[in-house]
Structure 1
Amino acid sequence: MSQKAFASQADLEEKQVSFTKLSDNAYAYTAEGDPNTGVIIGDDAVMVLDTQATPAMAQDVIRRIREVTDKPIKYVVLTHYHAVRVLGASAYQPEHIIASHDTLDLIRERGEQDKASEIGRFPRLFRNVETVPAGLTWPTLTFSGKMTLWLGQLEVQLLQLGRGHTKGDTVAWLPQQKILFSGDLVEFDATPYAGDAYFKDWPQTLDNIAALKPEKLVPGRGAALTTPEQVQAGLAGTRSFIADVYASVQEGVAAGKDLKTVYKDTYARLKPKYGHWVIFDHCMPFDVTRCYDEATQYTDPRIWTAERDRQMWEALES
């Protein structure tokens, strides 16, 4: 069997973009499993959640926003620190870039390594990487736990409901309309990336999202979920994937198996159920490696570098 192409390097096909209206105030920019962007239009300003990977890609989001409003884009919210979510920020020229303080800590600690790592993993998303300004995307406002903003009469709550995809995960909640923007805490028909995750915490965090009873939800990847039934399906699918990886890895660790064996076993076990999800082959080596770390000796995720990415891939896929 020939070795799989590294990460998403074989994924070069253009994706079909959708700009879905959830309410007069909420839109979802989605592209067949590519990273999503959320848009909230208030009375006097626009908030963008997750920026796309480059300013060049962000221009398409801005074009869609301008088809529905001419209000200024005042706020960019980073649901977490990953490069594909944050490096397009400069295109919006926002007054403020908002993130949780935990996300700021992660940018300080590992932003540079993450940027180099993700550019290597996603050549199609970063093909206009020269449009990214030098340096990193830094928040101008941070919060812990909860921040409420009023866009005129529209209440927007930025909430940390627990660790999952990263330790800094932030969701945006429109309580008046029961619409939630989850970032990568929830995916739909797309494989959760868990290379920087907290497997033990993630299911409870999903329960905390469910407790808000969202009627519509914009996931990190995949189509916008526009009914309570679809929202429940998105939460359940993400929860079962995380639980299935964790159970398989724990079983392997308890049996004294090494990482490569645990990876092969877990891949084979999950492929029938989830193999059709976007980026399954890309995510699985990273997910199982992090899960194995968490089940053995590393409470917190280790830093991925471009070099570590390749060494891990070679070790597990060769």
Structure 2
Amino acid sequence: MSKTFASAADLEDKKVSFTQLSEHAWAYTAEGDPNTGVIIGDDAVLVADTQATPAMAQDVIRRIREVTDKPIRHVVLTHYHAVRVLGASAYGAQQVIASQDTHDLIVERGEADKASEIGRFPRLFRDVESVPAGLTWPTITFTGRMSLWLGKLEVQLLQLGRGHTKGDTVVWLPGEKTLLSGDLVEFDATPYAGDAYFRDWPATLDNIAALGPRALVPGRGPALLGEARVQAGLAATRDFIRDLWACVQEGVAAGKDLRATYEHSFATLQPKYGHWVIFNHCMPFDVTRAYDEATQHAHPRVWTAERDRQMWEALEG
């Protein structure tokens, strides 16, 4: 293969930041690694996205304990990807909450996704043996909208449309205009779109913008503080999705096969987005999914470790 598979060569530790966004919200970020959002309510703590393993979640817990001793009672899964959910057991939460769509995706493809992601991201799954056997299952599911009350603090869980997956959930503090977006929004980091809905994603971002967030924790990248910074994050994510989708549609319309469409898309997007974190990693997955959606697969196909390797060799070999 001409390029190292996925992020297999990414072994350098990242600098962690734990940033307060509003009175009750914090962001755990690490230079483009997957982020975790934390809500500290009147009587309990909520964690959104858990890190990839219980061992790695311990650093999130350590940061939380630097600012509060309140119990961590709620874990929210913004979507089903293993890198976001397999650390959940570390928190000892009373409730693990996800959309019903996310639950259904775990049933359908959780095991395959787990094996696939561990193969792609060896550094992010450090101490993978600390993951309990089986999968991370929600104990509560919802459809559309749900409110939690951490004392007098209202936390809303919202499904605002399909994008990164069909089950995407955002965590919204209406009183503080603060949002935890999961991977629907990225900043200076390439959106992974292997399980995406390209036709829907821009409208979902518009729905996020309509809330008027003043602070936002993206799936990857630094915390976004201030409306202008939030809008910049939304716009950059929207531009990437639209630009990639347009390139793939051009390729399909011209009768190009997947590899030719990939090469055209990579060459077109690299000057604008190539400096973003995991650009080389994401592009084969993203173009493959967009090509599927533009041709014959309205819904994402399941990624397996074997399919990952076959796709990578076909496009990068």
Q: Which amino acid aligns with 2:242?
A: A
Amino acid at match of 2:7: S
SS at match of 1:313: helix
Give the structure-2-normalised TM-score. Answer: 1.00
Q: Which amino acid aligns with 1:172?
A: V
Q: Distance in 1 between matches of 2:223 and 2:281?
A: 22
Shift in Å, 1:23: 1.8
The number of equivalent residue pairs is 317
2:122 match: secondary structure: coil
SS class of match (2:224)? coil
Which whole-Å CA distance do the structure 2 matches of 1:13 and 1:112 have between them?
A: 27
After TM superposition, give the deviation of residue 8 of structure 1 in Å. 0.4
Alignment of 1:67-106 (within 5 A): 67-106=66-105
Contact 2:55 2:126 in 1 (8 A): no
Tell me, what secondary structure is at the counterpart of 2:118?
helix
Q: Distance in 1 between matches of 2:221 and 2:36?
A: 11
1:317 equivalent in structure 2: 316
Quote the Cα distance in structure 2 between the aligned partners of 1:22 and 1:153.
19
Q: Which residue of 2 aligns with 1:266?
A: 265
The DSSP-based 3-state class of the residue aligned with 2:299 is: coil
Q: Distance in 1 between matches of 2:251 and 2:59?
A: 45
CA distance in 1, matches of 2:20, 2:296: 45
* CA-to-aligned-CA distance 1:27-64 (integer Å, 9 cap, x gap): 00000000000000000000000000000000000000
State the 1:127 CA deviation.
2.2
- Tell me the amino acid that sits aligned with residue 111 of structure 2: E
Deviation >2 Å, runs of 4+: none
State the alpha-carbon separation in 1 of the partners of residues 127 and 240 from structure 2: 32
Q: Match of 2:282?
A: 283
| Counterpart code for 1:229 | A
Tell me, what secondary structure is at the counterpart of 1:134? coil
Q: Which residue of 1 is the match for residue 170 of structure 2? A: 171
- Deviations along 1:4-28, one digit per CA (max 9) or x if unpaired, are 1101001111100000011221000
CA RMSD of aligned residues (A): 0.5
One-letter amino acid matched to 1:212:
L
Does structure 1 retain, via aligned residues, the 8 Å contact 2:156–2:171? yes
CA distance in 2, matches of 1:237, 1:281: 17
Distance in structure 2 (CA, Å) of the matches to 1:139 and 1:203: 28
Partner of 1:61: 60
Distance 2:19 2:231 in 1: 19
AA at the equivalent of 1:286: F
Deviation at 1:268, TM superposition (A): 0.3
Distance 1:309 1:94 in 2: 33
| Correspondence 1:34-183 to 2 at 5 A | 34-183=33-182
* Letter of the 2:52 counterpart: A
- Counterpart amino acid of 2:67? V
Q: Distance in 2 between matches of 1:38 and 1:234?
A: 16
Determine helix, strand or coil for the equivalent of 2:225.
Answer: coil
In structure 2, what residue type is equivalent to 1:263?
Y
Residue by residue, what CA displacement relative to the aligned partner does 1:212-252 show, whole Å, maximum 9, x if unpaired? 00000000000000110100000000000000000000000
2:75 aligned counterpart, secondary structure: strand
Structure 2 gaps of 5+ residues are: none
Could you tell me the percent identity over the aligned residues?
79
- TM-score, normalized by length of structure 1? 0.99
Q: Counterpart of 1:200?
A: 199
- What does the per-residue CA deviation read over 1:241-267, in whole Å, with 9 as the maximum and x for residues that have no partner? 000000000000000000000000000
Q: Distance in 2 between matches of 1:213 and 1:175?
A: 10
